[in-house]
Amino acid sequence: QETGNAEVRFMQLDLASLRSVRAFASAFLRQEPHLHLLINNAGVSAGGTTEDGFSLSFQVNHLGHFLLTQLLLERLQSCAPSRIVIVASRAHCAGRLHPDTLGRPPPGLLSTFQDYCDSKLANVLHARELATRLQGTQVTCYAVHPGFVNTELFRHMPLWLKPLFLPLAWLFFRDAAEGAQTSLHCATHEGLERFSGRYFDDCCLQEPWPLARDDRLARALWEASERLVGLGGAAGSPSA
């Protein structure tokens, strides 16, 4: 109603539930014959564990999107040329990924922040490996840093930290429309196909942190993610 666009359709999807992701993908594929663009935009920075047994931030920010992308990939290929945009963050530079402990909350006092950074590193590596696997299909993908955006992403931060953080957010962070610009650039700008798998910041091609350019880590993350979400083998769990 707010957009005035009668073509907008709402469909329920909870990335903190792999069951919900599968139900959404099944419903979408039944109802919609075309899919040309997928923007994996949702994100949280919060502690806790999902119904699937994974840390909340890592499942919502990476595992849920990974499963969703895989379930919709055949439709994207059949409608090619098409694009996938994965919203990452400059916070990936603080990420640390260990495929054998993937999905478990990191130890330490800054566990929630570290989990968020780990998920953002996973986003950049996901785009990198996905591009490799999609070569020759006319489906391209891009990881983007939207900038520091004043949304509800950090609504779960500790109460004592909010009086310090919120004034900074209002003064220096971008609003949601400004924060969407790099995602829209990668979704619509002509001639980006040769940059599939790369990382964009402020609508420009950028080099991510060195760990985000590690092809062996990208493959290991992919294979571990497949196991954990139940693709290509038995359904996984944090201890699988």
- Residues designated catalytic: 116
d(CA 105, CA 46): 11
* DSSP for 136-198, written as a single string: TTTEEEEEEE--SB-SSTTTTS-TTTHHHHHHHHHHHSBPHHHHTHHHHHHHH-TT-GGGTT-
Question: At residue 40, what are phi and psi to the nearest 5 degrees?
Answer: -85, 90
Q: By the 8 A CB rule, do 95 and 185 touch?
A: no
d(CA 150, CA 69): 26
SS3 state at 57: helix
List strands edge to edge, sheet with 199-201.
Answer: 37-40, 82-87, 139-145, 199-201, 204-206
End-to-end Cα distance, the chain: 45
CA angle 8, 12, 16 (to 5 degrees): 135
Residue 30 CB neighbour total at 10 angstroms? 8
